Structure 1
C-alpha cells in the first residue's frame, strides 16, 4: 500500500513562507531507520509521521534530516492541517501522542491552535564563545530545555545576526534562540533559531521555541497573549497565549502539494 504525503508550509498565510513540513500518514508502523532515511531524502526542517490509534488519537513523530526530535510546533500544525484537509479527519479537536506527551490541535477562525508545554527559560551563564559565535553581545542569557536562549539589544540586531554555525555546534546546549522586543507595532517580539547540529542552520519558524519565548516576553510585558515574528528568510507569525503551565500556538498553513510515496519504498 502506498503512503500518502503532503508538503505544507506552516505558520504562514501565504505559500512559500513559514516553515515547510512533509506529513506522512502511515497505515502501519515503520522502522526508525526508514523514517530517518526519508527525512534525510526530503531535506526540509521536519518530516512528520502519523499513525492512527484505536482510541481516535494519532501517534506523531518528528524527524529532521539528521535526527528524531522531541517537540516540533510547525510540523504538528501541518499534521493537523493535513488530517483535516487531506486525510478526511472530522471533528474540531485532534490529539497527538508524542515524545512530549499528549498534544492537542483545535480548528478555529484564526487557523489552528496547538496546546504545548511551557518551557520557561532560566538564567544560564555564558562565556565569550557565545558572543563570538553570534557576532553579537547578549543582553541576557538563559537555558530553555536543551536550547540556549539569548536576548539581544534590538530587533535590528536579531535581523542582522550572521552566526558562525560551526561555532554554534560547539556551544554547550543544542540550538540557539535569539530574540528582542519588536520594533514593529503588530508584533510583540522578534526571534530567530539556529540548530546546525540537527542539519538545520536556521529553522524558518519554530513553534517549540515559542514555548519559551511566550513566558519570557509575557513576564517582561506583563500580558499573557502576544504575537511573535520569526525573522528568517522565509519568516512566519506565531500567536501565543499562556494558560497555566501551557502555551497555545496559533497559526495558519498552506498546502504546496499532496501525493503518494512510491509503492516500493
Structure 2
C-alpha cells in the first residue's frame, strides 16, 4: 500500500528551521500499530494522520516516534499548511482531536496560519519534584504545572539558553514533560522557552506549539499584555505569534514544505 506523505517545517519561514512534521491524509484510519510504526520510521517529533469526516471536520491524531500524543501544535500547523496548499480556496479548516475537542485553523492575509486552541494555563507548584530540580542544571525561580508539563520559570534569559538537562531524571516525571521559560530581553520577543520531553518523544523538541497554550496565558498575566511574540530557543529555533482571547489561545506561525512523496507500507 502506498500513502502520500508530506514533511513540513512548521513555525519557520525558511527550510531547516522550526519543527519538522510528517502529514498523511487518509481515507480511513490505519491500524494503530501501523501508524506508530510509520511515526517511528519517520523519526520526527510528530507524524500527523488525518481523516475527513462527513461533516467536513478533519479528525487528527499525532504520533511521536515513541507513542501517540494527546495534543500537538506544530503538526497541526503543518497539516493545515498542506490542506490549504491543496485547496487554495479554503480560508479555514475545522479539526477534532479527542484531548482538545473541536477547534479551527485559519489562513490569514499576512501569510500566517492561526490555530484556535483551548487555554491551558498552569498553576503554581509549592513542592518541587526532586527529579525536576536534579534534572536541570540551573534551579528555577518558580515551578508551575498544567495537564501537559512542568513549567520551570527563570529570571534570566541566559539561564534558559544555557541550561542543561538529564533525560534519565526528567523521564521519571512522566506523563509530564518540562518547559523552561523566561521573559526575553530581545525586543523582538516577549518570552523564550525550551521544551524537554524524554518520556514522550525524545530529548529536546525544536518547537512546541501545544505548550504555548499554557505559556501564553502565563506570560500574558506576568507581562500584562494579551498579544505576545515567543521564541522557542532550540537549535532550529521557531517563532510563534500568540494571543490570549478569553478562554482560548490563538497561536500563529508560518510553514515551509520540505518533501512530498509516497511511502510503501
Equivalent residue of 1:65, what SS?
coil
Q: Deviations over 1:187-229 (max 9, x none)?
A: 0000000001123200100001101110010001111000000
Q: Tell me how large the CA RMSD over aligned residues is.
A: 1.3
The list of structure 1 runs, each at least 4 consecutive aligned residues, that deviate by more than 6 angstroms after superposition, is none
Q: Deviations over 1:106-162 (max 9, x none)?
A: 001141000001100101121443222111111110111131111012111000011
- Measure, in 2, the Cα distance between the counterparts of 1:56 and 1:130: 43
Question: Where does the alignment leave 5 or more consecutive residues of structure 1 unmatched?
Answer: none
Q: Do residues 246 (structure 1) and 248 (structure 2) align?
A: yes
- In the TM superposition, 1:89-100 aligns within 5 A as 90-99=89-98, 100=100
Q: Do the aligned partners of 1:3 and 1:27 also contact (CA within 8 Å) in 2?
A: no
- In the TM superposition, 1:225-236 aligns within 5 A as 225-236=227-238
- TM-score between both structures, scaled by the size of structure 2: 0.96
- In the TM superposition, 1:75-94 aligns within 5 A as 75-85=75-85, 87-88=86-87, 90-94=89-93
- Measure, in 1, the Cα distance between the counterparts of 2:75 and 2:82: 10
- Measure, in 2, the Cα distance between the counterparts of 1:231 and 1:28: 37
1:74 matched to which residue of 2?
Answer: 74
Equivalent residue of 2:203, what SS?
strand
Q: Do residues 4 (structure 1) and 4 (structure 2) align?
A: yes
- In the TM superposition, 1:94-133 aligns within 5 A as 94-99=93-98, 100-108=100-108, 109-124=110-125, 125-133=127-135
Instruction: Count how many residue pairs are aligned between Structure 1 and Structure 2.
Output: 262
- In the TM superposition, 1:185-196 aligns within 5 A as 185-196=187-198
Q: Deviations over 1:160-206 (max 9, x none)?
A: 01101111112365110100010210000000000011232001000
- Measure, in 1, the Cα distance between the counterparts of 2:129 and 2:229: 31
CA 1:202–1:245 in structure 2 vs 1: closer, same or farther (change >3 Å)? Answer: same
Match of 1:255 among 254, 257, 263: 257
Equivalent residue of 1:39, what SS?
helix
Q: Do residues 146 (structure 1) and 148 (structure 2) align?
A: yes
- Measure, in 2, the Cα distance between the counterparts of 1:68 and 1:29: 14
CA 1:129–1:34 in structure 2 vs 1: closer, same or farther (change >3 Å)? Answer: closer
- Measure, in 2, the Cα distance between the counterparts of 1:113 and 1:202: 24
Q: Do the aligned partners of 1:141 and 1:151 also contact (CA within 8 Å) in 2?
A: yes
Question: Where does the alignment leave 5 or more consecutive residues of structure 2 unmatched?
Answer: none
Q: Which moved more, 1:129-138 or 1:184-193?
A: 129-138
1:2 Cα offset (Å) = 2.9
Q: Do residues 44 (structure 1) and 41 (structure 2) align?
A: no
Equivalent residue of 1:198, what SS?
coil
- TM-score between both structures, scaled by the size of structure 1: 0.96
Q: Do the aligned partners of 1:72 and 1:206 also contact (CA within 8 Å) in 2?
A: yes
